[in-house]
Amino acid sequence: MTAGEPILPLVRGLIDRDGRLVEADSRLHDLNARAGGALGETVAVPQLARLAHLTQRLGILVSRGIVAADGPGDLELWVRAEPVAAGVSLTITGWADRPAWAAPDAIGDTDHAALAADADWHWETDSALRLTFLTPDVGVRHGFDADMLLGAPLTGLFALAEDKSGSFPILGGLALRERFEDQPATLRATGEAVRLAARPRRDARGDFAGFIGAVTLERAPPRSEPQTIDDASGTFAVRLDSALRSPLGRIIANADSINAQTEGPLRQDYADYAADIASAARHLMGLVDDLVDLQAIERTDFHVAIEHIDLADLARRAAGLLAVRASDMKVRIDKPTLGETLPAIGEFRRVLQILVNLIGNAVRYSPEGGVIWVRAEREGDLAAIIVADQGKGIALDDQARIFDKFERVDPREPGGSGLGLYIARRLARAMGGEITVDSAPGQGARFVLTLPAQATGAA
């Protein structure tokens, strides 16, 4: 802000526990009205709605910058969202106008297609390198809370490293406002090695407006042996993953945007169609993930890392990743307490994947108002996580079958591909563990993951 610019007063508002804007200063009221909302109705600015939902879920104060559409342009706001007894209290500053982001030209589209060709997932930032977009559901797959990272610096997600020449390609791209490639990094949440590439995005005036980036996971070099049938099917799975992940991510993001009516009011049936499209695309994304995992675990050379992990911590992480889904379905997850620990042996990423599957299934099949109990226990030389729900239960004859490939208790019900439990059990056994189930019709289900426990005093 320059000396000649006026200092605008704070703008305040209140979003109740049901997501309705119940109090608003005039500027917030007018912004919400231009987005198609009204006082006493669900807040119509989707960025504010998501921030309020996140604040209420976490139960802590959250401050971050957001960019909200406002007519032909955008508004940059700094929002302080604080949980209070009545809902979420908002304090907003900034209110800086900026031109809306312009769609890339034909050259940019070709450039982006090249970036997307072999990428595993995507990210976008604003001009200050704050994250504005992440491929949907990527946090669940890689063990971080994507909602928490939106609005945070790019370096909150990635730890950047020098390349072979001792430089950081991203710094050159930022300094020259141009494309960069092959930036080494690791995911802070898991330590996974990745490579980053990005091209600049520009606003309507041609000014630098941030980066549109791609993430490629570091993979072991291909084997030199002659290709077998299994190798050929594995290559197909990798190509399928590469070909579908990026377009599905875009379909989900755009359909969610249409459903949220970010560009203004829309006929409700059209918004509902968009929600159906996003749901179908997420189902396809999950199927792609399952097929890639299926190919990996059935290879003769498949192995897992041997790591010292805290099962109680992983259970809390998995429950946190599924908290929004559970809240939407009015289901409560009762997870291990913050100070509880359960040392075990296994691969961090794979154990998180198993627990997300088990808790996610419990959420899917729990009745409205139900509770899911996640407990951490030591059983002799084994560490166990127990996931118990209040669903309709599983008949004894079906309890072995649900762990078979492509099997589901009732294929008519909405759900996954029938691969989740098969993959989860294969992963558990690869780590020297097991998954078992105890259930009866009408009495819910109780899944138990066991892994080798760390010896007392182990580092």
- For the stretch 276-289, pLDDT in tens is 787 777 767 766 67
The pLDDT confidence band at residue 4, using thresholds 50, 70 and 90, is very low
Closest by alpha carbon to 247, among 416, 138, 117?
Answer: 117
- Which residues fall within 8 angstroms of residue 59, CB to CB, at 6 or more apart? 83
pLDDT at residue 161 greater than cutoff 90:
no
Whether residue 384 contacts residue 450, with contact meaning beta carbons closer than 8 Å, is answered with: yes
Would residue 321 be called left, alpha or beta, if left means φ above 0 and alpha means ψ between -120 and 50 degrees? alpha
Q: Is the pLDDT of residue 106 over 70?
A: no
What is the spatial distance between Cα 19 and Cα 327, in angstroms, rounded to a whole number?
13
Paired tokens of 439: 């259930």
In angstroms, rounded to a whole number, what is the distance separating the alpha carbons of residues 371 and 388? Answer: 9
Identify the band that residue 118 occupies on the pLDDT scale cut at 50, 70 and 90.
low
C-alpha angle 99-253-181 in degrees, rounded to nearest 5? 75
Query: Please, which pLDDT band fits residue 110 given cuts at 50, 70 and 90?
Result: very low
**Per-domain residue ranges of the chain:** 11-99, 106-296, 307-452
Q: Whose CA is closest to 141, among 275, 249, 68? A: 249
Predicted confidence (pLDDT) per residue in 400-443, tens digit: 888 887 776 665 565 566 788 888 999 999 999 999 999 888 88
- Mean pLDDT value across residues 32-61: 86
Residues 247 and 339: their CA atoms lie apart, in Å, by: 41
What is the model's pLDDT at position 97?
75
Instruction: Please say whether the beta carbons of 318 and 352 come within 8 A.
Output: yes
One-letter amino acid identity for 61?
Answer: L
Helical (H) or strand (E) element with 290: helix 268-297
Q: Specify the 3-state DSSP secondary structure of 315.
A: helix
pLDDT value of residue 226: 47
CATH architecture of 11-99: 2-Layer Sandwich (3.30)
Per-residue pLDDT tens for 83-97?
Answer: 999 999 999 987 877
Q: Which of 103, 34, 41, 104 is nearest to 69 (CA)?
A: 34
Q: What is the CA radius of gyration of the chain?
A: 24
DSSP conformation letters of 267-280: -HHHHHHHHHHHHH
Residues 6 or more apart whose CB falls under 8 angstroms from that of 164 comprise: none
CB atoms within 10 A of CB 270: 11
Tokens of 287: 């199927």
pLDDT at 100: 56
Q: Mean per-residue pLDDT for 16-41?
A: 91
Whether 11-99 shares its CATH topology with 307-452 is answered: no
Q: pLDDT per residue over 291-342, tens digit each?
A: 767 777 777 778 888 889 999 999 999 898 888 888 888 999 999 998 899 9
Q: Is the pLDDT of residue 377 over 90?
A: yes
As a whole number of angstroms, the distance between CA 426 and CA 349 comes to 14
Give this prediction's pTM. Answer: 0.52
Interval 9-20 mean pLDDT = 91
Edge-to-edge strand ranges of the sheet holding 332-334: 332-334, 371-379, 382-388, 445-452, 434-439
Query: Cβ-count burial of 32 within 10 angstroms (0-12 exposed, 13-18 middle, 19+ buried)?
Result: buried
Q: Which of helix, strand or coil describes residue 258? A: helix
> 222-231, 241-250, 364-373: lowest mean pLDDT where?
222-231
Question: Would the pLDDT of 265 be above 60?
Answer: yes
Longest dimension (CA), the chain: 77
Average pLDDT, the chain: 80
Q: Is the pLDDT of residue 384 over 80?
A: yes
Torsion angle of the four alpha carbons 165, 129, 356, 364, in this order, in degrees rounded to the nearest 10: -150
191 and 181 in contact (C-beta within 8 Å)?
A: no
Residue 229 phi, psi dihedral angles, 5° rounding: -60, -40
User: 149 in helix, strand or coil?
Assistant: helix
Residue 195: phi, psi to the nearest 5? -125, 135
**What's the pLDDT score for residue 242?**
57
Between 81 and 167, where is the model more confident? 81
Strands 180-187 vs 131-134: parallel, antiparallel or unpaired: unpaired
- Could you tell me which CATH class the domain 307-452 is placed in? alpha beta
pLDDT band at 457 (very low <50, low <70, confident <90, very high): low
The average pLDDT across 135-160 equals 81
Average confidence (pLDDT) over 103-118: 48
Q: The domain 106-296 is classified under which CATH number: 3.20.20.70, 3.30.530.20, 3.30.450.20, 2.60.120.10?
A: 3.30.450.20
* Strand residue runs (E) in 225-365: 307-310, 332-334, 343-346
End-to-end CA distance of the chain: 51
Give 172's pLDDT tier (boundaries 50, 70, 90): confident
pLDDT at 3 exceeding the cut of 60? no
Greater model confidence, 351 or 6: 351
Provide the phi-psi class of 204: left if phi over 0, else alpha when psi is between -120 and 50, else beta.
alpha
